[in-house]
Every structure is written in C-alpha cells, then in structure tokens.
C-alpha cells in the first residue's frame, strides 16, 4: 500500500472512501494528485474549474495494473464517480465525483480526446 495521505488532505469523504476501496483491491496504489489549491492547480496546468480544487478528484497509479482496469473496477464498485480521465501515456487514471452526468476522456501521446 502506498496511499499518500498528504494528497488526501482536504479531500471530500467520498474520494477518501474511493481511495480506500482501491487500496482494498490492489496492493500498491499511489495517489499522484488529490486536493490542489487554485494557485497550485494553475501552476501545474490544471483545468480552470478542476475537481481537484474542490477536493473531489484524485489521480491514481496502481503498480502493474492498467488505467483501464482501474477505471473498470471503479465503474463496477463506485457508481458515484462521474469523471474518468485515463492517461494512457503516463499510466494514471483521474477519478472525480463531479455533479451531473458521467464524463470520460483519454489522454494519449497527442493530448486529450473525448
């Protein structure tokens, strides 16, 4: 287990629960991003209305597990997750609990595709 607790500071309880669910399924998860202040979000090139600013998003890498498999596990076990971003090139999955309909996107070598 490699849950970076500092990345979960100021995060919504549902996102924390999602991290725990992933931890119970997989041996080594690494949260590469959780809550971001608006200043830090801008510095790292995050979206202006990023769910990270609201504490409602995490970016996760699981050792030896593809981002697609992580997303599939979340779809099956956490119906409250509405935002899925999969970065195939960097090997992480973005998960958030935004309001409204489910939203999916994929990042590849050439950027974002819907």
Interval 9-33: pLDDT, tens: 777 888 888 888 888 888 888 888 9
Please tell us whether the domain made up of 5-113 is placed in CATH 3.10.105.10: no
Candidates 23, 48, 18, 25; CA nearest to 34 is 18
Residue of 8 and 25 predicted with greater confidence: 25
Pairing outcome for strands 57-62 and 111-113: unpaired
Contact criterion met (CB below 8 Å) for 3 and 31? yes
Domain boundaries along the sequence of the chain = 5-113
Q: What are the distances in angstroms from CA 22 to CA 25, 35, 41, 96, 99?
A: 5, 18, 24, 14, 21
Answer yes or no: is pLDDT of 71 > 90.
Answer: no
* Range name among 20-29, 48-57, 103-112 with the lowest pLDDT average: 103-112
Q: What is the mean pLDDT of the chain?
A: 82
């Amino acid at each position: 287990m490699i849950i970076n607790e500092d990345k979960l500071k100021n995060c919504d309880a549902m996102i924390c629960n999602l991290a725990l669910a992933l931890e119970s399924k997989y041996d080594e998860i690494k949260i590469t991003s959780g809550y971001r202040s608006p200043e830090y979000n801008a510095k790292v090139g995050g979206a202006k209305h990023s769910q990270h600013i609201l504490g409602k998003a995490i970016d996760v890498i699981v050792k030896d597990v593809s981002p697609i498999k992580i997303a599939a596990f979340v779809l099956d076990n956490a119906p409250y997750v509405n935002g899925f971003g999969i970065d195939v090139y960097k090997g992480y999955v973005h998960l958030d609990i935004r309001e409204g309909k489910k939203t999916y996107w994929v990042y590849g070598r050439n950027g974002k595709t819907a």
